[in-house]
A and B are shown apart, each in its own frame.
Chain A
Amino acid sequence: MNAEPLIELRGLTKTYGTGDAAFKALSGVDLDIHRGEFLAVMGPSGSGKSTLMNILGCLDSPTSGSYRFKNIEVQTLNQDQRSLIRRHALGFIFQGFNLLARTSALENVELPLLYRGYSRKQRHDLARQALASVGLPDKQRNTPAELSGGQQQRVAIARAIVTSPDTLFADEPTGNLDSKTTHEIMELLRHLNTDRGISIIMVTHEKDVAVYAKRHIHVLDGLIDQDSGS
């Protein structure tokens, strides 16, 4: 394992609201994550695990503390710079899929490539490959409404990996899926982690989903209270 951590958190806090209404979602988290890890972040509702993941994914900014991603001090970056980190290094999978409605699977998968300025042919080729690698080679033209939940999540995964990111963030990726589909999706994520070397950070509260991960941390009241270690 690489000595230099991929992600390094020191004393990270996040407070929502101000004054009496202030709510401390994270109260000083220290965490190192290395390349190639498959990390499951667990914890009850309101423990701060989603907040932690959103900050790690540069979707949200911390109130204080330090977050280094590949040696970049993320908390000092502005919104545009964080957008560029997301564009070039990160992929996201959400519980609610978050695909563009009324847009074909192929166009949804192409979307990140558009912002990377790829040519039409490159976009098509990469998007087709990505859809094929998640097992949907024949659903290119279908819109989300024409796909099952599991298929939509596969499209979302294809969209997340089409740019070959270093790190994949998954927020309750199987929360809206039945158990059979859940295991198919988790197998797919495990395959991406082991065969393609993509680091995966996944938030979940289901134990049988978490077992696919190699490392587990447990968050309670804004702090990591258990870490299975890498």
Chain B
Amino acid sequence: MLFNALLIALREIRRNLTRSFLTVIGIVIGVAAVVTMVTLGRGATQEIKQQISKMGSNLLILRPGQGWWNWGAPQFTIDDVEAIRDQVPGIRKLAPFVQTNASAVYQENDRNTDIRGTTPDYFDIGNWQIASGRIFTEDEVSEAAPVCVIGETIRKELFGEGVDPLGSKIRVKSMTLEVIGLTTIKGQGGFGEDMDDDITTPYTTVLRRLTGRGGGRNISQVMISGKDGYPGAHIVADVSSLMRERRKVSHNEQDNFNVFDSLQLADVISSSTKVMTSLLGAVAGVSLLVGGIGIMNIMLVSVTERTREIGIRLAIGARAREVLLQFLVEAVTLSCVGGITGIILAYALCDILADVVGAPFIFDPGINMIAFVFSAAIGILFGFMPARRAASLDPIEALRHE
């Protein structure tokens, strides 16, 4: 009986190709829209989270001034760094950070890049791995040793791809730095910057030999990594009150520094992408609904013809349940074909759009199920319900249906 129903249903689908096609296309568009939007949205959220985690987990950055720009607010001293290390609980590691821009030269190649001065802990805080060689030591920091760790972009620009730079000497301004390490490739940062385009040296080296500002207020940032699970907000509060005290900020004055919390940023950004994803999902949901209404429309319009068809089938000896099974198989077949095509189309779209948007492509079985089940339910409901009514009629009434 099922095989028969399948045979008859497939004949009916073939017989009414236009109607079948329109039904399927309604489902295809609805499913494809929802799956594409949600998949891309999830991908974007994931991408942003990854970008932020590249900066280092639990990362806090203490900077002078308010916001991103330093409007002449005083920088920090190395004593400030030690005070934070000693007095603020919940800190795993911290490192002073100074930065200058200079041209690095090796033989006839040169590259204008960031020169970063810091301590060995910086590599841990910033989640930097060493591909070859080593990082500099605390002793080298104390000695202001002329050593540096370079990123892949610097290696490529100064030495050429695949060339071992270890032991080579590069010139930056008037000093010569020995390359002792190469970091693994990090790629693009959260703001589209090249994270492999920098040279890292002991901060003492930068201060004494490059910027010529020995001692005093010369630390431009302090990188702080909180202990796992320790709330970043507590560290922010403790660092802030310590800094207000040390920098002699009175009650009625605003902070002349700020503490940036990467987790907080991650939360803000990911919650705003979530809002965007839901918004896109809602728009896509409307298209699924419109697709569904299209299916209803087509199904209801064909009720008259189908009622007569049911009458004919009943008259020549089909039982109501055989006719119903045929209609159910038809509706299920069309809905499934539409649903599966929609999902395939969605992935084709995601594949193309993922490159454009720059988000990774994350398969989410949940949204596929929801979109598929919803469209299938509409297709089956509106394919099946009119048939159910018609099949309950006396055959002669179904035949007379106008």
Partner of A159, one of B4, B316, B395: B316
Residues B318 and A115 in contact, CB atoms below 8 Å apart: yes
Residues B4 and A80 in contact, CB atoms below 8 Å apart: no
Tell me if A84 counts as interface (CB < 8 A to partner B): yes
Tell me if B317 counts as interface (CB < 8 A to partner A): yes
Residues A111 and B15 in contact, CB atoms below 8 Å apart: no
Residues A115 and B396 in contact, CB atoms below 8 Å apart: no
Residues A83 and B318 in contact, CB atoms below 8 Å apart: yes
Taking CB atoms and an 8 Å cut-off, the chain B residues in 317-354 that contact chain A are 317-322
Q: Give the segment of B99-107, B193-201, B306-314 that binds chain A.
A: B306-314
Q: Which residue of B lies closest to A53 (CB)?
A: B396
* Residues of chain B within 8 A of A100, CB atoms compared: 15, 309, 312
Scan A82-103; emit 1 where CB is below 8 A from any B CB, else 0: 0110111010101000111111
Residues B308 and A98 in contact, CB atoms below 8 Å apart: yes
Tell me if A60 counts as interface (CB < 8 A to partner B): yes
Tell me if A145 counts as interface (CB < 8 A to partner B): no
Residues A114 and B396 in contact, CB atoms below 8 Å apart: no
* Residues of chain A within 8 A of B8, CB atoms compared: 114
Residues A115 and B316 in contact, CB atoms below 8 Å apart: yes
Tell me if B399 counts as interface (CB < 8 A to partner A): yes
Residues A94 and B399 in contact, CB atoms below 8 Å apart: yes
Partner of B394, one of A60, A94, A101, A112: A60
Tell me if B254 counts as interface (CB < 8 A to partner A): no
Residues B316 and A79 in contact, CB atoms below 8 Å apart: no
Partner of A117, one of B4, B315, B399: B4
| Count of B interface residues, CB-CB < 8 Å | 25
Nearest CB of chain A from residue B136's CB, rounded to whole Å: 82
| Count of A interface residues, CB-CB < 8 Å | 30
SS of B interface (majority): helix
Nearest CB of chain B from residue A84's CB, rounded to whole Å: 7
Given A94-B399, A98-B308, is A59 in contact with B321 using a C-beta cutoff of 8 Å?
Answer: no
Scan A152-173; emit 1 where CB is below 8 A from any B CB, else 0: 0000000100010000000000
* Residues of chain B within 8 A of A84, CB atoms compared: 317, 319
Nearest CB of chain B from residue A223's CB, rounded to whole Å: 21
Tell me if B92 counts as interface (CB < 8 A to partner A): no
Residues A83 and B15 in contact, CB atoms below 8 Å apart: no
* Residues of chain A within 8 A of B321, CB atoms compared: 80
* Residues of chain B within 8 A of A92, CB atoms compared: 315-316
* Residues of chain A within 8 A of B389, CB atoms compared: none
Partner of B317, one of A54, A101, A115: A115
Nearest CB of chain A from residue B397's CB, rounded to whole Å: 8
Tell me if A61 counts as interface (CB < 8 A to partner B): yes
Partner of A115, one of B16, B308, B322: B322
Q: Which residue of A lies closest to B308 (CB)?
A: A98
Tell me if B364 counts as interface (CB < 8 A to partner A): no
Nearest CB of chain B from residue A64's CB, rounded to whole Å: 16
Scan B187-208; emit 1 where CB is below 8 A from any A CB, else 0: 0000000000000000000000
Tell me if B82 counts as interface (CB < 8 A to partner A): no
Tell me if A8 counts as interface (CB < 8 A to partner B): no
Tell me if A107 counts as interface (CB < 8 A to partner B): yes
State the CA gap A159–B318 with chains docked (Å). 14
State the CA gap A102–B308 with chains docked (Å). 14
Selected A-B contacts with CB under 8 Å, 5 pairs: A83-B319, A88-B317, A98-B308, A107-B11, A115-B4
| New A-B contacts (10) at CB < 8 Å, excluding given A60-B396, A83-B319, A98-B308 | A59-B395, A60-B395, A61-B394, A79-B320, A80-B319, A83-B320, A98-B311, A100-B15, A107-B11, A114-B7
Nearest 3 pairs between A and B by C-beta?
A87-B317, A59-B396, A86-B317
